[in-house]
Structure 1
């Protein structure tokens, strides 16, 4: 259970890092996420780390602010 918790925390940290740097992905030293556009400034960010976490975000066109709109754990 302790190992699972560590993996879950690592997955959350990776999607948080990608979320914070979504508008400047080229600046990331290592991309630890899968990033997919779903249209109209909305993006899905999924961790490569298992257990996988997926978040939905929207980018404000005028300010560049990234806002998380949902979150889920991906089960395979």
Structure 2
């Protein structure tokens, strides 16, 4: 199996399908997206190439909670 990501629109030409419709069908039915436990906030945490610079920073849950102004609920032991 090829693991190079491609858009659903690029499948139109080769398989004579509607790429937008296929993309929606995949998202809504084939990928289990509706059951994904992080779906409600995924749009805030998804990484898109246009939002990235040359460096990627790794953060802890504690740092994220601080940035969001939420109380620290991590275990300090």
Say yes or no: TM over 0.5: no
Question: Which structure's residues are more often helix, by fraction?
Answer: 2
TM-score band, normalised by shorter chain? under 0.3
The TM-score normalised by the length of structure 1 is 0.23
Larger Rg, first or second structure (1 or 2): 2
TM-score by length of 2: 0.23
